[in-house]
């Protein structure tokens, strides 16, 4: 058996653990196995940059963050466009797949990666997709690997802010990753006792934010913690078209929405407001135990799918079980936070404000 593997898009803590799960699952059950790793995501598949991997490559990587294969972002919308030298990228990927006589290509990545995986399926290649993203926004699976590890990092950042916020009676804003969805901000905010949580799915009202801070101040609480997704948006801006919003943001002097909110708080309340951005630390470090277990299970299930020749699927985690979901049913779909979900209602019940 000959399989190819690649990791594409933004990195996360558990990519190595997932690859290890796939390879160990195959090694234990296949007499002859060759694994080819394409370097730096789809770029390696396009330009034929790969190497033959051995058991040694997958030894000791369960707890190692990042990816031993490297990664890169290759936007799906440009995949059918020739590169700067006129190379047909789709045909090049197919050519390298067939040149190595692969039985299957295992692809680890998020939404954009998944759409290209589905494209390759449509082009006749045998593919299996494993859902990776710290955003937990892949449709068709309850959880993505990398998510809980990132929650740990974001939560730790908010935890640390609590002590300095309390010491100086300040308003602190911790900006959490998440342009389009707010799963990471929601979980980290609740886990760390944030007083206000702002998500892309729930447009905020400046007055509601100010009222929530005033309420804490009037009750004798001198500090307030806001967990803000980088894609958080005001009710005013949510009414604009994408083009109008882009034009408006280009004229604003703020590095991100958090700085805009901080200035508003200082101006309206006279309170010191500080912004902390954990940034790419949320993608780094050691995968948490939950992700190691999740990746081992998903990897093992992917190995079984390959041996059973059930190609063209994403290996998902649904209701605690690993299941195969057809790529054609999930590619291109986004799983956002439902503003009316139980978790939001439960958070509001204990006094957390969502700015709405």
Query: From residue 32, how far is each of 29, 35, 197 by CA, in Å?
Result: 9, 10, 52
Is 135 labeled as catalytic in the residue annotation? yes
Query: Tokens 């882009």 identify what position?
Result: 246
Cα separation, 272 vs 266, in Å, equals 6
Q: Which of 11, 57, 135, 137 is catalytic?
A: 135
For 205-237, letters b (16+ CB in 10 Å) and e give ebeebbebbeebbeeeeebbbbbbbbbbbbeee
All residues at 6 or more sequence positions from 180 whose CB lies less than 8 Å from its CB, including other chains: 135, 137, 200, 231, 334, 336
**Nearest-CA neighbor of 157 among 241, 259, 282?**
282
H-helix or E-strand spanning residue 47:
helix 42-47
- Write out the two tokens for 134: 């710290």
Which positions are annotated as active-site residues?
Answer: 135
């Amino acid at each position: 058996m000959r399989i190819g593997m690649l990791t594409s898009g933004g990195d996360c803590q558990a990519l190595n653990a997932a690859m290890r799960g796939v390879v160990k699952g195959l090694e234990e059950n296949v007499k002859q196995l060759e694994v080819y790793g394409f370097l730096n995501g789809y770029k390696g598949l396009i330009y034929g940059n790969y190497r033959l991997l051995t058991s040694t490559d997958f030894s000791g990587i369960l707890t190692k963050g990042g990816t031993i294969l490297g990664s890169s972002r290759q936007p799906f919308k440009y995949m059918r466009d020739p590169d700067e030298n006129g190379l047909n990228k789709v045909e090049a990927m197919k050519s390298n797949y067939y040149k190595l006589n692969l039985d299957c290509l295992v692809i680890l990545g998020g939404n954009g990666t998944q759409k290209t995986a589905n494209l390759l399926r449509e082009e006749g290649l045998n593919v299996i997709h494993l859902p990776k993203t710290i955003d937990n926004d892949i449709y068709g699976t309850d959880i993505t690997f990398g998510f809980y590890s990132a929650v740990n990092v974001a939560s730790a950042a908010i935890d640390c802010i609590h002590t300095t916020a309390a010491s100086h009676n300040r308003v602190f804003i911790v900006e959490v990753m998440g342009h389009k969805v707010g799963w990471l901000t929601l979980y980290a905010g609740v886990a760390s006792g944030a007083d206000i949580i702002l998500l892309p799915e729930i447009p905020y009202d400046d007055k509601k934010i100010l009222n929530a801070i005033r309420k804490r101040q009037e009750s004798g609480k001198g500090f307030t913690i806001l967990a803000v997704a980088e894609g958080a948006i005001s009710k005013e801006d949510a009414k604009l078209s994408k083009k109008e919003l882009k034009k408006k943001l280009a004229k604003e002097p703020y590095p991100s929405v958090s700085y805009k909110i901080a200035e508003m708080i200082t101006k309206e309340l006279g309170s010191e407001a500080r912004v902390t951005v954990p940034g790419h630390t949320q993608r780094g470090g050691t995968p948490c135990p939950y992700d190691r277990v999740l990746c081992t299970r998903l990897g093992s299930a992917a190995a079984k799918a390959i041996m059973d020749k059930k190609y063209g699927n994403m290996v998902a985690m649904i209701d605690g079980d690993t299941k195969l979901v057809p790529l054609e049913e999930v590619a291109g779909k986004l799983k956002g936070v439902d503003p009316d979900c139980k978790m939001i209602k439960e958070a509001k019940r204990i006094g957390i404000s969502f700015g709405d």
